[in-house]
Structure 1
Amino acid sequence: MTEFAKALPSSFLFSMSSFLIGFIVRPFGSLFLGAVADRKNRLEGLRLSVCLIGVSSCLVCLVPDSSHWTYYILRIIQGFALGGCYPILSVIIYEAAPSTHRGLYTGLFQTSVPAGYLFALAVTIISKLLIGESQFLQQGWRTAFVYSALIFPIWWQLHRLLRNVEFHDQPEISRWDFIKLKDWTIQEKKCAVYALLMATALGSIAIMGVNIKGFFLKSMLQLDPLTANHVIAYSTIFYAPTYALWGSLADRVGPRKVCKAGLIAGVVLILPLFKLFEVVASEGHILAFSLPWFYIFIVSIGISMIATACFGPFVVLVCNLVHHEHRCTLYGLSYNLATGIVGGTAYLVSFWIYEKYQSMYGGIAYVILVAAAFGVAATIYRNKNPQHFEAVIK
């Protein structure tokens, strides 16, 4: 999306609109598709999500340009489908894993996010080398979406595998109806509120450490795009396994403790770490694998490790809170409200503050304030309702 946006002869807000709209509709997708997975069948919800993602992504290749209405429709469908696909798969991994290693297994699954980013980055770089950057920005970006067709053979193999998996918490609901709050117990409703508050806090830090980091290096510090991509790619290889590391730790000490530690570390350390980016980048042009490059590389890993500590064990935290009839819905809604609404608006807030006040750290401060405020609210809410949480939250 970032590369595509460069080709548009329009304002930043216009070029970001198609990106943001995909984020904004994700919570709606998690409500509908999560309800299908919860109330009917896990694989049914996942099948519908994968089909929507695959078809809409492939059709992007055929749109005339990004200003055409069909492009926005396809972006809405993509966001809607992704709002259900990733959370449903996370819950499936949680339920299929041994009860004593759910943090480890779900953490291993979450390495698929940085792996997907590396694959997309490789496709972009190779395409530019083959046809040139100018041609890529004009028409070559379409080739990247052709790879979306790979989702269908992957899904076919995954579906065969999942049909033979024995779930430890197999849903027993065979009827289909939409999410009904009256079916939730008082404890589950209290836990749902807590999960939404914590998701917003943790997701803010997670978005900062995984997504906004690259935006800050390229757009705010004006770091050479190739150098920035090298830093992000290599640091991604190093931080990706920490999802499993924090998940394994959560199996031992409890997911809430790990998430809380990551949240505190993020609120306290994220801004100073981003400031280190500026200090190192102020030396001017940075060569790949030079000493300043390694400084940025190490700081990048540190920021991302804080992010993975926040969100790595979160699926276990949420799934421990509620009955299996509501897991996909609650986790999907929590995850997508955090990464979608807060994460999506963080880009706009960052650029708006930079344009108005010439401050590179406005967006970072916004995310930290959101994380701190919702983290405190979640803690207060939990302390006021201890009887609903003591048995389920560790």
Structure 2
Amino acid sequence: MSSDASGDVHRSVIVSLIGTTLVWYDFFLYVSASVLVFNHRFFPYLTPFAGTLMSVGLYGVGLVARPVGGVLCGHLGDRHGRRPALVATLVLTGASTGLIGVLPTYDRIGLAAPLLLVALRMLQGLGLGGAWGAAAVVSLECVPPERRGRISSWAQTGAPAGNLLAFGMMTAVSASMTSEQFVTWGWRLPFLFSAVLVAVGLWARMRIGETPVFRALSSAGARRERPVVELVKDHRGRLLTAAAVAVGADVALFTFSFGYVLTFLNVAGVPFTALLALTVLSPLALIALIPLFGLLSDRCGRRRVCLAGTVATAVWAAGFLPLVRAASLPVLVVAYLLALVAFAAMYAPQAAIVAGLFPSHLRLSGTTTGYQLAGLLGSTLAAFLTTRAAGWFHTSAAVPAYALAALLVSGGALLITRHAPEGADT
């Protein structure tokens, strides 16, 4: 591989990691701020419970906007180039996140404050809708097939990296000032920090050229006028398969995040200091494990590794509540750590698998639309189920059962497509 090609690979790794880290940084940051700040600063006219519900519910506005962003990014990337799609998603996501950090609150501008917050959440959703898909496609198209699992897995590493970064920023800022200072103005600093991620990401993205695959499409005159229309018309099976492959990890990430598992461990008697350590060590472990399983997927087969991780994660979901009720604390902690290994195996190859399902002239449209379809059907419902399922279904088993069902769907999709070749003209 030439030095220029090697440099493009390295820069594509940086771009993928920064882009998806910004996505998940925004996600975890907004959830934390919703509970700690937004109900006080933007919805003071509501009861505390209603204010918290409203501010968290605004996250759903961003989730609903994501499929629209996925379609728009897919069209831009398949019609005009992967690089414009990368830059557009990064700027839109980072700018809207940063603007939340300077947004006047209700006591300054009244009802305009929550309305502007809703508008910024929608803009974030549009940017986030295409960010992961653009990162995955650039990673896939900048390297030869035998390295796609390892390089594309860096796009997946952004999830734990964003989680850790958001937790670290919120913790550091809140610990450095009084509670009143944090609620009044300190909460803005983590949002403004997103500008740093945008600047680094733009530096990296502007230094990579168009992918070789898209350059070949342009030279051959094979770009489509309406890629999304052709995708839905001629490749519905691939689109549904992509959504099915992604939905299991998406639901597992949402249902077993937000402290859901850690809350159960706390109830089971795990000390607070141990929980805090797990909160920090869990994303660190995933940051290390995901690239390793990406490398393993290149050697052993991406679908095979992903399927093994999916099955193991499904076993964890099925056995979670019995373990909480019957196992000792050391066994619970070990089971939790093993579940991280299983999740990493499932999650690491998914970017390469999903992006590889589609032919090159529709790849970004298929990747973004399929992934966001999984998010709309999976994680959007999961975000509400984690807080309301026990009341609706009168059992704490509802959330693990939902995760198990989604994982079974993903496992079935991987079995169906295990012999299918990657998209044409890769």
Tell which deviates more after alignment, 32-41 or 1-10.
1-10
SS of the equivalent of 1:97 reads: coil
- Asked if the contact 1:206–1:310 (Cα under 8 Å) also holds between the matched residues in 2, the reply is no
**Correspondence for 1:98 among 119, 144, 157:** 144
- Asked if the contact 1:351–1:363 (Cα under 8 Å) also holds between the matched residues in 2, the reply is no
**Correspondence for 2:314 among 257, 262, 267:** 267
The Cα shift of 1:392 comes to 3.7
In structure 1, the partner of 2:227 is 179
Tell which deviates more after alignment, 223-232 or 309-318.
223-232
SS of the equivalent of 2:212 reads: coil
Matched residues in 1 for 2:188 and 2:316: separation? Answer: 39
In structure 1, the partner of 2:128 is 82
The Cα shift of 1:180 comes to 4.0
Give deviations 1:157-216, integer Å, cap 9, x for gaps: 2124313x7635645247684434436895x4433332222222343334445x25x234
In structure 1, the partner of 2:294 is 247
The Cα shift of 1:122 comes to 1.1
SS of the equivalent of 1:45 reads: helix
The Cα shift of 1:302 comes to 2.1
Give deviations 1:295-319, integer Å, cap 9, x for gaps: 6554333222222222211121123
Gapped regions of structure 1 (runs ≥ 5): 284-291
1:115 matched to 2:161: yes
User: Alpha carbons of 1:226 and 1:341: their partners in 2 closer, same or farther (altered >3 Å)?
Assistant: farther
Matched residues in 1 for 2:198 and 2:305: separation? Answer: 36
In structure 1, the partner of 2:69 is 29
In structure 2, the partner of 1:342 is 378
SS of the equivalent of 2:176 reads: helix
In structure 1, the partner of 2:49 is 10
Matched residues in 1 for 2:377 and 2:105: separation? Answer: 26
**Correspondence for 1:125 among 149, 171, 177:** 171
Give deviations 1:50-97, integer Å, cap 9, x for gaps: 111121111102323486111011011111101111210121011112
Give deviations 1:205-241, integer Å, cap 9, x for gaps: 34445x25x2342489567776534312112212222
User: Alpha carbons of 1:301 and 1:137: their partners in 2 closer, same or farther (altered >3 Å)?
Assistant: farther
Matched residues in 2 for 1:184 and 1:171: separation? Answer: 24
- Asked if the contact 2:310–2:410 (Cα under 8 Å) also holds between the matched residues in 1, the reply is no
SS of the equivalent of 2:360 reads: coil
In structure 2, the partner of 1:191 is 238
Gapped regions of structure 2 (runs ≥ 5): 1-29, 40-47, 107-112
TM-score (norm 2): 0.77
TM-score (norm 1): 0.83
Aligned pair count reads 372
> Comparing both structures, which one devotes a greater share of its residues to helix?
2
State the percentage of identical aligned residues.
21
- Asked if the contact 2:320–2:400 (Cα under 8 Å) also holds between the matched residues in 1, the reply is no
Give deviations 1:238-286, integer Å, cap 9, x for gaps: 2222211222222123222222222222222223245545667xx9xxx
In structure 1, the partner of 2:248 is 201
User: Alpha carbons of 1:337 and 1:108: their partners in 2 closer, same or farther (altered >3 Å)?
Assistant: same
